[in-house]
Each structure stands twice: as C-alpha cells, then as structure tokens.
Amino acid sequence: MIYVENKDLVIPGQVLADDEYYSGRGTFKENGKVCSSLLGRVSLRNKKIRVIPLKSKYVPKKGDVVIGKINDVRFSMWDVDINSPYSGILPAFEVFGREKKELNKVYDVGDVLFLRVVDVDEIKKAKLGLKGRGMGKFKGGIIVDIAPTKVPRLIGKKGSMINMIKDKTNCKIVVGQNGLVWVKGDEDMEQLTREIIHLIEAEAHTSGLTNKIKNKLYLTIDGELPPEEVEETEEEFVLEKPTLQNFKEELEQEEREAEEKKEKETKPDIGEVIEEYKRKNKSKDGSFSLGDNSNNSFILNNK
C-alpha cells in the first residue's frame, strides 16, 4: 500500500508506504512503514521510494567536481571553502608535484577554483585536486549558488539544459556539484543567466522545463519564440554526474587567438609589443571581480 504519488510534496515524518516498498534516500523505515525524513518531493521507481530534498547541504563525495574558494594559505596546503558543512583541503603536491614554491603566489585567499574531490576521509574532510580537464582558477565572471540537489536538473539529460543556455547566452558556464555555478560572458548575459538558473532551481520539479526555459531564452534574446517545436522530452530527476567542462582550454585559445590577431594587425618594434602584452596581462589579472557585483548570490556559510 502506498500513500503518495510520484513528485508529491512530503514533509518529515509523513508515512509514505507500507512494508512491501523499499526505503531509499531521504526516507527511513519504522514499524513496517516507510516514512519521509525530509521536506521534498517523492521519486518513485519500481518499489523503491526516495525523497529528493528541496534544500540540503552538500556532503563531499569522492570523484565530485566542485567550485571552492580559498579560505586560508597554510604551510603545505590551502584551506578551501566548498559550500558545505565540511571544509576541503588542497595539498601543495596536488598542484606542483615535488617542486617547492611559495603557495600564496599561486593561489591566494579569495581565489575561486574548479576542483575535483580526490578523497573523503572518515571525518568527511575532503581532499581536493586539480587533475582533470579545465581544473584551476577562475578569472572574472560571477558565482551563482543553488541547492546542490537541483544540480542534475540544471545540467539536464546529457547536458541538454546547460548546453542550451550556453549556446543562447554565449556565456561560459561551469557547474560544481556543491551547488555553485560559475558564469562568464557579457555583463547583461551574466545577469540573464543568473535569472535563468534561479528559475530552474525554483521550478526543478515541473515537467517540460527545458522547453519553457528555451522559450524564455529565445524571447528575451531574440524577441521571438524558437522556430520549430522540439518534441516534449520528459526529463527524469536523476542524479547524473556532470560532464567536465573545458572552459579553460576555450579561455586559453581565445587569448591566444587575440594575441595572434594583434600581432598580425600591427607589426611595430618588439619593445612596444612586449609593453602592450604586459599591460594587457596586468589588467586581466586584476579583472577578477567577485566583490563588485554586490547583488550576486555568493554566500559561503562558514565564515
């Protein structure tokens, strides 16, 4: 006997089903009844009941990709805030190997990085690493934070949702599994993307959301609806691992192209080029602006 339907809103302590059903995440069994332990929506598959929470904190898991902020620089490691009850550490050897360098010259307090959880020990401290495509420090852009449980919805089936937003807004977007999203593009587009991401977070449980978002994107950017209707794809609420996003390569290639172009355009004496290059790089380094955008929603909790 089951007392709820798929995608129903349930509250802690609510009885969901009788004994013949299996208790999945977000539920517990007591006296032969499956009960919810969270405020969330029911996800029913075969005879297994899960509750997908509306709000939750990120608990680090081995292999996850996350976005973190450097909190402290220590002798041989960085302390990283990963928007979780548990802090992360980035050991120096994950970055330089055996070489010895000064840590704060590489990443300083306040830098935001794209990282991989290498290991989680028994006290849930997350050891982080930079191995993988696109891992490293972000330059510029804004950070949007959403509930970690809504991350799979934002990415969509095989990245359908996120790729659509990327294409339409021309923004570079990186999603961390800890609920932080990095967005870089034109200022207007960054703001639009943020609105869209918050909309997805608020309506994650509704079906046909991809089409709704698509229409909104087309309306705002082009002023008209998309040309052809794509068939409705009912998307599942599955915890899919997001694929790695190679923003860094793109960034680097863009920079390289820009430089080449400049070199071709003007061929003055070499001194000027170097001067120009230096100036350019300087301004680029200083362009990281998390603080400027006071209304962006980068709230980290353990300060």
Q: Which spans of this chain sit near another protein (rule: CB under 8 A)?
A: 9, 11-13, 15, 26, 28, 30, 35, 37-39, 53-57, 59, 85-87, 123-124, 202-203, 206, 299, 301-302
Pick 76 or 206: Cβ nearer another protein: 206
Listed in sequence order, the residues at least 6 apart from 109 whose beta carbon sits closer than 8 Å to its beta carbon are 70, 71, 72, 73
Pick 48 or 57: Cβ nearer another protein: 57
For residue 217, the minimal CB distance to another protein (Å) is 20
Question: What is the distance between the alpha carbons of residues 97 and 95, in angstroms, rounded to a whole number?
Answer: 6
For residue 197, the minimal CB distance to another protein (Å) is 16
Pick 22 or 86: Cβ nearer another protein: 86
Give the CA distances from residue 183 to residues 17, 141, 189, 247, 295, in Å, rounded to whole numbers and listed in that order.
42, 5, 9, 10, 14
Pick 62 or 262: Cβ nearer another protein: 62
Centroid of chain to Cα 60: 14
Pick 86 or 218: Cβ nearer another protein: 86
Question: What is the distance between the alpha carbons of residues 209 and 252, in angstroms, rounded to a whole number?
Answer: 34
Pick 66 or 95: Cβ nearer another protein: 66
Pick 35 or 95: Cβ nearer another protein: 35
Whether 8 contacts 41, CB under 8 Å = yes
For residue 39, the minimal CB distance to another protein (Å) is 5
